[in-house]
Amino acid sequence: MVKLAVIQSGQQHSKMRLRLATALATVALALVGSAVSTATTLIEVPTATTVSNVSVTSGKAGTVRVFVDSDTRPILETDAARVELAFPSLRHVGGAFFVLDASAALVGVQAPHLETVAGDMAFANLPGLERIAVPELRSVDENLLLRLLPWLADVAFPRLLAVSRTLAVDSCGALETIELTALRTIGLHLDLNLLKQLSALVLPQLRETRYDFLVRNCRRVAIIDAPLLRLVGEDLVIDGLPELTTLELPRLERVGEDCEVVQCLSLPALSLPRLMSVTEDLELRFNPRLRSVHLPRLQSVGEDVQIENEDRLLAFDAPVLCTIGEDLEVVASRTLSTLRLPALRLLGGDLLVASCASLEAIELPALQEVQGSVSVYNNRVLMSVDLARVVSILGAGLEPRGRDDVLDGIFVFAFNDKLPTLTLPALRRLGVGATLILENAALQSLAFPALRELAFRRTRAAPVFAVVDNPELVSIVLNAGTPEPARFNLNAGNDADICPTSPDVHPGDCPQDSWFCAQCGLGGDLGATQAQALLRLALCSGGSAGNNADSVIDSGDGVDGPDADADEGGSDSWLRAFCAGVGACAPEAPRAGQYEAWIDAHGCLDLSLMLGGAATAAGSVTLSPGDTRGVGVGVIKCVVAGATLSRIDGCLSIIHSNAERIDLSGLRSIEQSLLVEGNARLRVLRAPQLRAVEKGELDLAYNGGIGADFFVELPAFQKAPIGVRIAFNLGGMSLVLSQLGKGKSSVGTVIIAYNRGLLTVDLLALSRAPEIFIAGNDQNVAINMPSLRHVFAGDLAIASSSALQRVAAPRLERVHEDLELFFLASLPSLELPKLVAVEEDAKVHACAALMSLALGSLSAVGEDVELYDCWSLHVVDLSALTRVEEDFEAYLLHSLPMLSLPTLVSIGEDLICFGNPSLRRLLAPRLRVVAAREGGGMLIENNAKLQQFGLPSLRVLGNRTARLCPRERRGAPSQNIIGAEQTCDGSAFVELYSGATRVPAAGQRPLVVAHHSSLRDFQLGRSSMSGVALRTNVWVDFNADLAHLSLGLDGTGSLLDAAYFFARRDPGVAGFAPLPLSAPLLQREVASASSAFCVAASKPRYATTVPAPGLREELCNATLRCDYELATGDGRCSLERVPFMCAVGDPQGCTDAYYLYARENAFDFEENAVYLAAAPQFSAFRLPMRPPTGASVRCIA
């Protein structure tokens, strides 16, 4: 290695620009002969021990430039072919340490004595970086970011104690190890994403993350070990880790929001022995090897408990769980035999237990109240249900309904073939829209002996009570005081001798004047067909608004499709079939002889031999561990269709076998579904002649093993009307499905997700589908859909891949709901040249390598346009976009220089553009209306290079109404936030950016233009002869160079319904200085908008080093005179001593305010995006430890 030391004469910290010319480098490298092509030049950068900031970036012609202390000229610039920078004297950085967007020549950065960084520390978009060395680094007071570092293999922070905001590492394709052995506290988020080579995450000293702990889409991570972690302030998410086998969090006591373990394909067990509370959701989904869950101290879950598609789960142990704030959902968990929660007393939402093939018992002996619905269906071996202490089932749950005539909650027991009795001895109140007990083949007795009230919580719709099509049902016991429902049937399809009775009278007698007396031998006034239609409504739409129960009763029709998203992975295949009008799999086809006669000469199970040589199987064929007809699936090594079998009039199911090969050559059609699931040794699935599953779905899931190839060959397959699900398959997967959807063949939802080794997805013939979800295929490099024109019922989502480089859908014209691309680390460009309309959201986010987004024909978006957190995005083509019905959001687009919207006319809600450091121009010359649909506004903030912003055609901004908060932030710290009780109307957002402490609840989100260092001209409605109707509040602040502000209030413009109007230059630079306003009408209009609020006279750059000022500048009070003087710039308001909203020394208060208000309420932010441009008052500095609060949870009997 050639080492060049740059020596600085005079004072060490004097500014000096050094140019290392190409000629000098050539002479130096020549000294080492022919090996110079790989030599690295080490350059020592002279600095003081303490500097304000450091920035390393690219110059012209690929040079590497170094800036120190905000100087406009680099202290150093080099064009060496390979360079490593050293900062030998540097110990403290008072602001940011940025190494961003440098050329491939930069291969290393070292600061051997650096101890503290008071701002952000970021290494991003460095195509040649191989080495980062900061061995003495102890603290980073804002964000620590590593992103788009393709050659960085190892990184160590051995003495790092604290990161006060977010520690994020993503899209680093070669990174194998991260050393964080001393790290104790993370102020906001730990976020590791799309690290395809990382093998382990070990955090031996970590005590808490104040917000999220996120590890996602890291395909080789086998171990996560944080032995001292006690508190996760918000979300704990372990998602998309196919090789994870060990998750060790032995001291974790509290999770402040969601706890999710999802799509960990190799995890055998989950134990959180000290976890006491989860404030929001506990989610366990799609972990096919998970056998046990052990939560011995868990007492409270604030929202949902979801256990879905846990293919091998045997035990869920939560013996002291006493409260679930919302839903308990156990769905499609094939091997779970008992659901037992012995301490559960309160369920704040719904109870859903469905499609659990081995479930024999539901034991909830302490449960007293269900505030939502109860749905227990398709549990074919369920034998007992213990709900002995349930007193009330309220039906409506937590979500208010929008209409009075819809189904308001349900009580459903259906398709539980072996359930003999259903008794709720304590049930007094049933407040559901429909009680539906149908199709339980073995049900003999039903008893609600204490039921005295059928009532609704929020609607006036009359209840329905149906107990029909239970052929063995001979006994129904109701209370003599049970009120008469509006429509009912207790007879049809039950035992012919059934006669309801009451425990209050002699058995067999019917109470006098009781409505259910008439049911003896009668069918009631609700037909069985109507009851079945209501069941379809209940299960397939959840009884949601828009499905009129009365119209369903009148017509006898159901609804189409289950109310579920494809991105949930298709959690219940039975429900999809039921809602598509396809019944359960047909009964088993007759078999010939015994098992020994079904084995061919190669040792394979021959289906033709098993069916006696029939060409058509007269029913279903099932090979599974539960098969009692002589098939030993444990010893099956291969399965073949054989010489004669060409059709199956039912389902073909091969589940949890040891087969290594399935060859269905000769089989041409299956009437219902093809289900191949949980075959861990499967290497080959072939069906070369199979064209269709005529009424069902193709479901291939949980097959194969890590380290082995898995070939799926379906070259002729065309039709699957319910859908195609190829998901959670391991190994090096090869998929041939090129004819899917050919011609007029119907295809349902297409899910190709979390197949660990899948390289390409080729859907060459598919022209239309109701919904497409392709995600989590972590080695997938290309998606080809050349014929696709229309996604006609749901979303098109492509997500979660570290390898994907090509998405081709050149003919796509329309997406019925969302178009979404996210977590794609390697995708360089996306072009959809014929896409005209997206009827809900168009979202592209967290695609770090994406440089070009071309949607040149897109003219209308039915909800939001969201472009954010795409570091490399340089070109956006939305040249035909005319209408966005809700928000237009463009933020955290690090490299975007210009955003042009030449044809955009209307934005229904908010216009949001912030944190885009390279953005110079934002053009929307025809935009006439912003936020006319609701009390929205405009946020233009922290765009460092933005020089001019104008909407010359604007006519209307804002509306008089405001949307309420979407939900309460239960468990969110709020003790340090002034005005935490306010509604989500934007006043809190002004508090956040200004330091204001008494901004009134205003009813609208405001127009905010804040924190710009280059903006000189801001104009609205310049070309509008009639002016702008400004129907919102205005806050223009912290814009140091802003010289001209025109808000279109000339002519006949108007300022309506505003609680405040404020504009000034940056008070941190020049103090209070009113801006010149082009607003002749303002002094008259603002008189009706008088209110009091206070702001800080100055903002400290760093809360740890600058004392709090004693006085706050009250810029406006409740008098007309002060408002008038402020508006015209003729006077000043009085001073008043007021407290800080975010007090110095209380940085957590600032952080809480930022997340509680700005990111969830005032505007639609994303919590986990690293915001390097954030104003300093949002940062959390040197946070003290906060003890977990989970111990305060108590269960009351």
pLDDT tens, position by position, 190-238: 999 999 999 999 999 999 998 899 999 999 999 999 999 999 998 999 9
For residue 949, pLDDT over 90 is answered with no
The stretch 1025-1050 carries a mean pLDDT of 71
Structural contact between residues 826 and 804, judged by C-beta atoms closer than 8 angstroms: yes
CA distance 553 to 549: 6
Angstrom distance (rounded) from CA 821 to CA 295: 35
- Which of 591, 782, 757 minimizes the C-alpha distance to 196? 757
Cα–Cα distance, 235 to 321 (Å, whole number): 20
Whether the CA torsion 170, 172, 177, 182 is positive or negative: it is: negative
Higher pLDDT among residues 1172 and 1064, named by residue: 1172
How confident is the prediction for the chain on average, in pLDDT?
79
Predicted local distance difference test score (pLDDT) of residue 756: 82
Question: Confidence band (pLDDT; 50, 70, 90) for 600?
Answer: very high
Nearest to 1032 by CA among 1094, 962, 965: 962
More confident residue, 53 or 1019: 53
Decide the pairing of beta strands 1135-1136 and 1112-1116: antiparallel
How confident is the model over 966-984, as pLDDT tens digits?
A: 333 333 333 332 233 334 4
CA of 354: how far to CAs of 380, 510, 695, 860, in Å? 10, 35, 22, 39
Average confidence (pLDDT) over 435-464: 82
Highest-confidence segment of 90-104, 994-1008, 1127-1141: 90-104
Q: How far is it, in rounded angstroms, from Cα 483 to Cα 460? A: 15
Average pLDDT of 764-787?
Answer: 94
* pTM for the model: 0.85
- Rounded to an integer, the average pLDDT of 479-485 is 85
For residue 61, the model assigns a pLDDT of 80
pLDDT band per the 50, 70, 90 thresholds, residue 924: very high
Q: How far apart are CA 1148 and CA 811, in angstroms?
A: 50
pLDDT the model gives residue 1167: 60
584 compared with 87, residue with greater pLDDT: 87
Neighbours of 348 (CB within 10 A): 21
Q: How far is CA 223 from the centre of its chain?
A: 24
Please state the rounded mean pLDDT for residues 599-625: 93
The predicted-structure confidence for 519-556, as pLDDT tens digits, reads as follows 676 667 788 888 888 888 888 874 333 344 554 455 44
Radius of gyration of the chain (CA): 33
pLDDT digits (tens, 9 = 90+) for 93-140: 998 999 999 999 999 999 999 999 988 999 999 999 999 999 999 999
Rounded CA-CA distance 109/129 in Å is 8
Which is higher by pLDDT, 15 or 943?
Answer: 943
Going by pLDDT thresholds of 50, 70 and 90, the confidence category of residue 174 is very high
Q: What is the pLDDT of residue 474?
A: 92
505 has pLDDT over 80: no
Residue of 986 and 956 predicted with greater confidence: 956
Tens digits of residue pLDDT in 28-62? 333 334 343 469 999 999 999 999 999 999 988 88
Q: Which helix (H) or strand (E) holds 213?
A: strand 213-216
Least confident stretch, 664-678, 681-695, 1151-1165: 1151-1165
Q: Region 76-83: what's the mean pLDDT?
A: 92
The pLDDT > 90 percentage for the chain reads 55
Structure tokens given for 799 = 């997500």
For residues 51-76, average pLDDT:
89
Comparing CA positions, the residue from 95, 146, 93 lying closest to residue 119 is 95
Q: Report the alpha-carbon distance of residue 655 to residue 702 in Å, rounded.
A: 10
Identify the pLDDT of residue 404: 39
Q: State the DSSP H helix or E strand holding residue 26, giving kind and residue range, or none if neither.
A: helix 22-30
Comparing 897 with 1120, the larger pLDDT belongs to 897
Tokens standing for residue 895: 């490299």
pLDDT class for 484, splitting at 50, 70, 90?
confident
- Place 511 in a pLDDT band, splitting at 50, 70 and 90: low
Share of the chain above pLDDT 70, in %: 73
Least confident piece of the model among 114-123, 378-387, 471-480, 626-635: 626-635
Question: What tokens were used for 699?
Answer: 């479901």
Token pair 């899910």 is found at 751
Task: Categorize the per-residue pLDDT at 741 as very low, low, confident or very high, splitting at 50, 70 and 90.
Answer: very high
Which helix (H) or strand (E) is 1083 found in, with range? helix 1082-1085
The yes-or-no verdict on residue 363 having pLDDT over 60 is yes
What amino acid occupies position 301? V
Across 653-661, average pLDDT = 91
Indicate the length of the chain as a whole number: 1197
Minimum mean pLDDT range among 52-61, 791-800, 1010-1019: 1010-1019
Dihedral sign computed on CA atoms, order 567, 568, 571, 572: negative
What the block records as the tokens of 421 is 């009795």
Between 578 and 347, the higher pLDDT residue: 347
Band (629; pLDDT cuts 50, 70, 90): low
Q: What is the pLDDT of residue 253?
A: 97
| pLDDT top residue among 641 and 944 | 641
DSSP code for 633: G
Between 506 and 604, the higher pLDDT residue: 604
> Which has more confidence, 1031 or 1004?
1031
